[in-house]
Amino acid sequence: MTETGVRFTDGSLEECSLIVYATGYLYSYPYLSIDSGVTCNGDYVRPLWMHCLSINKPTLGFIGLPNLICPNQMFQLQVEFCLTFMTKRKKLPSKEQMLEEYELDMLERWKKGLSKRKGHFLGHKAEAQKKYYDELAKKANIEGIKSCIVKIHSHAHLNRSKHFTNYRNVKYTIIDENNFIVSPLQ
């Protein structure tokens, strides 16, 4: 790294003003102390209640760990969820209860054949995502993500796999809380 960019091993220099540290869902938090109560081997972060709140240190939240999700909406929902408990607007369940829920969730994942690498995987199916979002909202007594938003995300994901070069050439129009229509961009 230089003051204005990056010098590569071949000697070339690329100027830049921003570097995004993205690990491709290889979770790494080298700045967290062992005292944080959270461990991470790269595959998934644990133990977290609802994939975002540290069970051992419930003032520590991790936003955005689940993948194949409605990103902005889920980030907002997780922030509101964590803040509800961090600000004591709602009392946390006991540590034992959070650990039990966490362990059951992980056990379900492993029984489905998911690898440790998929410890925070929600999948592209709208039902699985909606279940997680609704559970977050219910536990924190906050507004969840509208069903049509989750369905749109799932549709867009499927559309991308079928029509990779032009999947963005559509417009989604929300009809009501549960329905939307898709039309070509004009």
- Do the strands 170-174 and 53-54 form a parallel or antiparallel pair, or are they unpaired? unpaired
Per-residue pLDDT reduced to its tens digit, 36-58 = 899 988 889 999 999 999 999 99
What pTM was estimated for this model as a whole? 0.82
Residue whose entry in the numeric block shows the structure tokens 């003051």? 3
Per-residue pLDDT reduced to its tens digit, 79-92 = 999 999 999 999 99
Amino acid at position 111, single letter: K
Helix (H) or strand (E) holding 138: helix 126-140
The CA distance from 85 to 70, in Å, is 23
CA atoms within a 13 Å half-sphere pointing along the CA-CB vector of 97: 5
Instruction: Place 102 in a pLDDT band, splitting at 50, 70 and 90.
Output: very high
